[in-house]
A and B are shown apart, each in its own frame.
Chain A
Amino acid sequence: MSHFSPTAAVNYFFNYFLMKGVLVTIGLTVAAVIGGLILGMGIALMRMSSNPVLSGFSRFYIWFFRGTPLLIQLVVIYSGLPQLGIKFSVITCALVGLILNEAAYLAEIVRSGFMAVSAGQREAAWALSLSPWVTFRRVTLPQAFRLMIPPLGNSINSLLKATSLASVISVEELMRRSDMLMQEHFQILEVYAAATAYYLILTSVWDAIQRRLEKHFGRSSAAKSRRIAATAPVAQTSVEARA
């Protein structure tokens, strides 16, 4: 068995069963990003609120979900909650776990993006009598969003890989299906070579999309990229490896 069969690896790469797993991985990622962004914005708004109950809850939420492994969160939702009579389908469990977890990271990214927009910007908007909505929509949000793109991109990259943890609760995404194929013929290297290639393709495609977004939202020349470079590390600190 001391050999590696490139043909087998290529066959696995084009295996329909594995490809469907790739689609599930993409689906999980997209759903977790969308759900995580919506929930994360809510958590970020609460965190920035002057109400101590809201900001306290948000602080606790972020502390909890960033301070515990995603793996435990998924296992608890999948096997622990039924003990309390709460039972979801496998895919729902995975989505709930990923969204709850992702929201904690995205909340910090959203918050640091808004915090990085200087108070002077808001003051200038007030001095011009702009309404709170116009101030948010036209002044703060575009600047905050531009600052959020790099850490957001990193978070999505790591989420893409973190979806593999859903395999543990038997969601048939890329990792789980690779395991299943591997169990059949024990061509361990060949199967995982194919899976690795898919993960690399997915992260590379995302990288390319991220670069486009950065370019699109950084349309105002050199002065801007200097500002991004200067402020990005602040937002970056909120992105850590998960799992």
Chain B
Amino acid sequence: MSEISMNTASGVEGATAQSQLRDVPAVRMEAVYKHYGDFTALDQVDLKVAKGEKIVVCGPSGSGKSTLIRCINHIEKHDEGLIYVNGVELDHQRKNIDAVRRDTGMVFQSFNLFPHMTVLENCILAPMTVNGMSEAEAKDLAMHFLTKVRIPDQAEKFPGQLSGGQQQRVAIARALCMRPKIMLFDEPTSALDPEMVKEVLETMKKLAEEGMTMLCVTHEMGFAREVADRIVFMNEGKVVEQAAPEEFFQHPKSERARTFLDQIIH
């Protein structure tokens, strides 16, 4: 159990070696481009995320938010530029991709739980097949994180039997079972009924409080204000603005960000 009770956050141990590691950003993107045919989905994106930092990515639909976040764990291949995750370069080499994916967890808008497996089976599959854990160990670990997202009692159910909010919390627990150092969220509450948004955001806040490095694409501006260290605003594949939440909400620099905020805050 000692491994389980260990904090998921990186950098909280406070050793000197750790502080040196801290200088390596969690994510570093330099002049990253991504094309779909003639269309440029990421247009010279530069982004640096420090360890423990919480970033909220926002912007109009089609601005490249999902593409950005999906390039970080190589679910989308970037075409040009450099991406480093915890110092590992994503250069399309298998071993580096694997290393990066082991360091990152991802939560999708549509949950993407495996519908033919129970909640518990969803959670133990990767720890057992990737990390070679025994079933008992993996189950302990899974129950630990299911308890953390407050649905240990649903472990034996199938995803289809749960509400959207519960499914998304399972998806978060499933990702945490791989003990990622960085969590990527792509509009985790957009597919939820309004009354379930809160429970998922609460779970994410808790994770943030524990020091997890987080990149969240979300339009939940309340969450952004409360949790984000920095807002990254995207438009047409470009990072247009980066600022602390207060700054961004009160004094958006670009016209595009102003109109976006007007629409979203109404």
Residues of A within 8 A of B (CB): 118, 120-121, 123-124, 126-131, 134, 138-139, 142-143, 146, 220-224, 226-227
Contacts and interface: CB of A to CB of B under 8 A. Distances in A.
A130 B116 contact: no
A120 B160 contact: no
Name, among B98, B126, B175, the residue most crowded by chain A CB atoms within 10 Å (CB to CB).
Answer: B126
Contact of B106 (A118, A127, A139): A127
A9 B146 CA distance: 66
Interface stretch (B45-53, B107-115, B224-232): B107-115
Closest 7 CB pairs of A and B: A223-B160, A124-B112, A127-B106, A220-B158, A128-B126, A120-B112, A129-B101
Interface string B111-128: 011111010000001100
Interface string B172-191: 00110010000010000000
B140 to A, nearest CB: 18
A126 B75 contact: yes
A126 B101 contact: yes
B129 interface: yes
A139 B102 contact: no
Interface of B: 70, 73-75, 98, 101-102, 104-106, 108, 110, 112-116, 118, 125-126, 129-130, 158-161, 171, 174-175, 178, 184
B115 A220 contact: yes
A215 to B, nearest CB: 14
B105 to A, nearest CB: 7
B125 A143 contact: no
Nearest to B121: A138
A129 B126 contact: yes
A139 to B, nearest CB: 6
B252 to A, nearest CB: 32
A142 B116 contact: yes
B125 A130 contact: yes
Nearest to A137: B129
A60 B199 CA distance: 53
Nearest to A145: B116
B115 to A, nearest CB: 7
Name, among A123, A143, A146, A222, the residue most crowded by chain B CB atoms within 10 Å (CB to CB).
Answer: A123
Name, among A129, A138, A143, A220, the residue most crowded by chain B CB atoms within 10 Å (CB to CB).
Answer: A129
Given A121-B112, A223-B115, A127 B161 contact: no
B46 to A, nearest CB: 24
Contacts of A130: 125-126, 129-130
A134 to B, nearest CB: 5
Contact of A220 (B74, B104, B110, B160): B160
Contacts of B129: 130-131, 134, 138
Given A127-B101, A128-B174, A221 B75 contact: no
B175 A128 contact: yes
Contact of B158 (A121, A129, A142, A221): A221
Nearest to B127: A128
Contacts of A139: 114
A123 B116 contact: no
A130 B131 CA distance: 10
A224 B159 CA distance: 10
18 contacts: A118-B110, A120-B112, A121-B112, A123-B70, A123-B108, A124-B112, A124-B114, A126-B73, A126-B74, A127-B75, A128-B174, A128-B175, A129-B126, A134-B125, A220-B115, A223-B158, A223-B160, A227-B160
